[in-house]
Each structure stands twice: as C-alpha cells, then as structure tokens.
C-alpha cells in the first residue's frame, strides 16, 4: 500500500468543481476531501477570508456538511502554508470559493500540482451578471478534470446554470444565501435580467 500511495502522490493534478449557487459545489468538495482522508491521504483545505457566511474558519455547505479549513487573505498564503507543512506532508489541497481569490490562485494550483499534490478547487463559474467570475475560467482551462454541477431553476424547475440576484446591489462581491440569490436556467435568467 505504501508504494501505491507514493506513486499516486507523485502525480499532481487539478480538479475544478463549478456551477451556479446552490448546485452542491462545496458539498462535492467536502465529499472528495473526506474520501481522500479515508484513503489515508493528508489533506489541507483553504477558503477566502472574506467568506464568513456559515463559519469563520470551517467550510460549510448549504446542507450543513462541514470540514475544517484555514481562511487566507491572498492566494500566495495558500502556497506558504502548504510549504510550511512540507512538500511530503500534504497529498491533497482543497480550495473553496476560488472565485473570490486573486488571479494568482491559478499559479498556486499549478505549482502545487507540479509538486505532486492533488488540488481540488470549487467555485462559481459566473457572477450574478452571467459573466465568467474571477480566476475560475483560467482554473478550468488548466485543470485535468472539470465538473459542472446544476441546481434546479427556481422559476421553471429545469437545470440551472446561473445565479440570479434577487436583491438590488451592483457589487460583484456580495455574499448571500437564499434571501439574495436563486438558481435559474439561461432563459429564466435572461428574462429576469430584462425585466427585473
């Protein structure tokens, strides 16, 4: 088993989990990291310091699944914290809400994978205007695996791909939950944007 573990650990990779709000991105990230723990991998999980919706440190999904994480203010902090632990100490790095990080998170993910670490990233692929969000498009481009999840459209019940903001606020970064956003399919999103 030890031989297989080290052989696997030398093959770094980048996985991206994306989609609209309420699609289960964080839940899927937590599921993958818990499975990595079951497989006796050493994991380290990071979240942006600005995301304090459910907990200041832990990552918590909408269905209240949770896992401990380290809040960081900048992408370089992820690399520094992993380096402090040591290259051989971490097998899997998880990053939640990647859209809130600076563009340097792409280079961080690439550097970690070059060190043989499996990097699992979750985040919104589009903002409330339906525009690609922050570093997510670049992360998706460099990833070996991209999983796009779809919640249920709250208007028609079909598969949703957009996060429709239901409160008036023009800031791109506005943390919120069901009181502020709802998932919508493209046609229902477009109708809402035309007739707010």
| 99-131 per-position pLDDT tens digit | 999 999 999 999 999 999 999 999 999 999 999
Any idea where the domains of the chain sit in the sequence? 2-149
Higher pLDDT, 185 or 2: 185
So what's the pLDDT on residue 190?
97
Between helix 104-114 and helix 75-85 the angle, nearest 10°, is 20
Per-residue pLDDT of 53-77, as tens digits, reads 554 566 665 565 667 888 999 999 9
Residues with Cβ within 8 Å of 135's Cβ and at least 6 positions away in sequence, in order, are 98, 99, 101, 102, 103, 105, 106
Q: What is the pLDDT of residue 104?
A: 97
Note the pLDDT of residue 67: 79
pLDDT over 90 percentage in the chain: 68
Confidence at residue 89, expressed as pLDDT on a 0 to 100 scale: 84
Does the pLDDT at position 87 exceed 80?
A: no
The predicted model gives 186-190 an average pLDDT of 97
**pLDDT for the residue numbered 1:** 38
Non-local (6+) Cβ contacts of 97 within 8 A are 26, 47, 48, 51, 122, 123, 124
Q: What is the pTM of this model?
A: 0.85
Catalytic residue among 15, 28, 97, 182: 97
Active site residue 10: no
Mean pLDDT of the chain: 86
Q: What is the DSSP letter of 152?
A: B
pLDDT at 46 over 80: yes
- CATH class, domain 2-149, is alpha beta
């Amino acid at each position: 088993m030890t031989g297989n573990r080290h052989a696997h650990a030398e093959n770094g990779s980048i996985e991206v989990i994306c989609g609209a709000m309420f699609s289960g991105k964080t839940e899927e990230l937590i599921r993958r990291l818990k499975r990595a723990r079951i497989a006796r991998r050493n994991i380290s999980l990071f979240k942006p310091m600005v995301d304090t919706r459910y907990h200041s440190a832990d990552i918590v999904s909408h269905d209240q699944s949770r896992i401990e994480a380290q809040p960081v203010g900048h992408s370089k902090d992820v690399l520094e914290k992993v380096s402090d632990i040591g290259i051989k100490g971490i097998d899997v790095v998880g990053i939640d809400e990647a859209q809130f990080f600076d563009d340097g998170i792409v280079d961080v993910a690439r550097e970690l994978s070059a060190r043989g670490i499996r990097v699992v990233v979750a985040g919104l692929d589009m903002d409330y205007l339906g525009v690609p969000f922050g570093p997510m498009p670049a992360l998706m481009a460099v990833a070996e695996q991209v999983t796009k999840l779809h919640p249920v459209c709250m208007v028609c019940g079909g598969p949703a791909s957009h996060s429709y903001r239901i409160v008036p606020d023009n800031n791109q970064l506005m943390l919120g939950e069901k009181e502020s956003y709802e998932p919508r399919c493209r046609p229902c999103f477009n109708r809402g944007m035309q007739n707010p």
